[in-house]
Amino acid sequence: MVNVVTDIIINCPCEKAAQFAANPDHAPDWYVNIKSAEWQTEKTIKVGSKMAFIAEFLGRRLEYVYEIVDYIPGQKLVMKTADGPFPMETTYTWDSINENQTKMTLRNKGVPSGFSKIFAPFMSLLMKRANKKDLIKIKGILEK
């Protein structure tokens, strides 16, 4: 199983961090590997909303659709792959440290199948490295 958890302290209010990060339209701005995001359903962040992403990981183009399965505005967003090469669940949580600081946590977990199962430990390491870059990038955007 792949289970990667990464977090960062962002110097901005929790509401601002959560609104920006939860919006799939912003994903290509702060995710290093995501090249595009396109809504498959009405452009509303709610349980059942679906978005198609195109990413590049390990030199491969990946196309997948995520569906929001849990959403508490300003606190938590959980998405699962509805269609894609690797079953994955991504969770964002935002915790207010004080009025101007937010702890954002990014968690990716999934169970690789077939040949990719062999590479799960390696994939975990690469995903953690990518997630750290992503969180550093969103921190820079939100702290401007």
pLDDT mean values, one per 10 residues, the chain (144 residues): 93 98 97 95 96 87 93 97 83 98 96 60 83 97 96
Residue 82 has what pLDDT? 83
Helix, strand, or coil (residue 78): strand
Distances 89 to 41, 99, 116, 127 between C-alpha atoms, Å: 19, 29, 17, 13
CATH assignment of 2-142, among 3.30.530.20, 3.40.50.970, 2.70.70.10, 3.30.420.10: 3.30.530.20
Per-domain residue ranges for the chain?
2-142
Structural contact between residues 73 and 49, judged by C-beta atoms closer than 8 angstroms: no
DSSP annotation of 74:
T
